[in-house]
Structure 1
Amino acid sequence: MFQGFKEFVMRGNVIELAVAVVIGGAFGAIVTAAVDSIINPLIGAFVPSGDLAGWTITIPGLVDDAQLGIGAFISALINFIVIAAVVYFALVMPMNKLAERRARGQVAEDVPPTQEELLAQIRDLLAAQKNTP
């Protein structure tokens, strides 16, 4: 029982995933700090309250005039966009370019015939043998 668990944990994919989660968490904290301390104050200069995170919209007429905190949502949306852009431009795009370079240098391998193609060839051979005297 423990041997199977040990084999599962020691697989390369699990270790790589664990490292990716840790690095991703640290990277998320860095981006959140950058957005909170640099981008939000810049955007906050254009909102009435002066602080994006504290920006709310009041809906009158409801119980106690409902406050919608859209500033926090906009801040989270900016975090997501920045993280997605950095991941794409720093990781995905270079890996795609590397894969293209590797693919250019490789010779196309012969693709073996599928089962259907083999069965069709056998059928044709049997039919040809049947028709020959």
Structure 2
Amino acid sequence: MNAKKEPSIWQGFKAFLMRGNVVDLAVAVVIGAAFTNIVNSVVKGLINPLVGAIGTQNLDHYSSCLSSSCKGDRGIHLMWGSVLGATLSFVITAAVVYFLMVLPMAKYLARMEARRKAREGTHEIIEVTELEVLKEIRDALVAQRGSVHDER
């Protein structure tokens, strides 16, 4: 009997965790969390004071009231300042990721692809040229043999 032993649940879980995609995703989440702190600092330290030059430094204080009276917690408050702050954080994050990570990586990969194509193109030219030279040598040898046989 050749019964194949199935892996245990623990071994399967360990294999799942050790896959490259899971580890890469975990690293991305940790770096993203750390990067969020930087973006929040930029928004609180730079953007909010610039907005504060016009009004208040805390965007959360910008709101509108839909009901007839909004005093304290009464009434319907639209907290559009919070949405504006979150949107600014998102746009800043997206810009930093694009300009500092995505764009340079795309340029680097394009350069590497161009170098690879140039190397492949060079090898093809060399191989074709070598093949042509070998054919010419062969033809010259055949012609030389033919002239040697004609002299005899």
TM-score (norm 1): 0.71
Match of 1:87 in 2: 97
Equivalent residue of 1:61, what SS? coil
Asked if 2 retains the 8 angstrom alpha-carbon contact of 1:41 and 1:52, the reply is: no
Match of 1:78 in 2: 88
Match of 1:53 in 2: 60
- C-alpha RMSD over aligned residues: 2.2
Q: Which has more helix, going by share of residues?
A: 2
% identical aligned pairs: 42
* Structure 1 segments unaligned to the other structure (5+ residues): 109-133
Equivalent residue of 2:77, what SS? strand
Q: Distance in 2 between matches of 1:42 and 1:27?
A: 22
Deviation >6 Å, runs of 4+? none
Flag the 1:53–1:62 CA change in 2: closer, same or farther, 3 A. closer
Structure 1 residues 105-120: aligned runs within 5 Å: 105-107=115-117
* Structure 2 segments unaligned to the other structure (5+ residues): 1-8, 121-152
Q: Deviations over 1:36-91 (max 9, x none)?
A: 222112112213x5542211112343784422111111000000000000000111
Flag the 1:52–1:44 CA change in 2: closer, same or farther, 3 A. farther
The aligned amino acid for 1:57 is S
Structure 1 residues 27-66: aligned runs within 5 Å: 27-47=35-55, 49=56, 51-61=58-68, 64-66=74-76
TM-score (norm 2): 0.63
Of structures 1 and 2, the larger Rg is shown by: 2
Equivalent residue of 1:46, what SS? coil
Q: Distance in 2 between matches of 1:51 and 1:3?
A: 51
Match of 2:19 in 1: 11
The aligned amino acid for 1:95 is M
Kindly state the Cα deviation for residue 3 of structure 1 after the two structures are TM-superposed.
Answer: 1.5
Q: Distance in 2 between matches of 1:50 and 1:10?
A: 46
The aligned amino acid for 1:21 is V
